[in-house]
Amino acid sequence: MSTEPMTVEAASAEPRASVRAFLPGFAWQGVDSRPYKQDASAPFCGILRQVLFDEPPLQCELRYFEIEPGGYSTLERHQHTHAVMILRGHGRCLLANEVHALATFDLVTIPAWTWHQFRAAGGEPLGFLCMVNRMRDRPQLPSQSDLAALRAFPAVAAFLAG
């Protein structure tokens, strides 16, 4: 007679009711701080990632990224959408062919196939929440001709030069 316990998959499908405290230094109880990307194939500088929510019923994840002063995320684009809220600090982002200043609590929508990159201002980390689909495609990096097309916009060229 089979008395197998529920599989890990089934047991984890519905989240457990919980409250996880906010901790000093922009951390949360029970949440690991990990490198931004597991592979070092894409250029980025000084970023940590914390996955705050990863619940199958929601079909999305909410992550907290923190870029150290002067650091930057990978310049990339992909089919999936990002919804971002700045939680800490200031910086700038490249969005398509525009550069935008970012301040705490600003909201950034990154549609499908839109080039994007975040840069932290000097002096303080840039921290932001990023909501994303759980199932998503791999980011695409710019080719030399993509970069040339982006640099045709002077503000973008200045942003990419750092």
Task: Please list the active-site residues.
Answer: 130
> Tokens 């929510």 — which residue?
53
Neighbouring residues of 101: CB distance < 8 A, sequence distance ≥ 6: 90, 92
CB 29: neighbour CB atoms within 10 A?
10
Separation between Cα atoms, residue 153 and residue 156, nearest integer Å? 5
Compute CA distances 6 → 9, 13, 70, whole Å. 8, 11, 47
Classify residue 23 by its DSSP letter.
E
Query: Which among 51, 58, 56, 53 has a CA at the least distance from the CA of 12?
Result: 56
Separation between Cα atoms, residue 69 and residue 75, nearest integer Å? 17
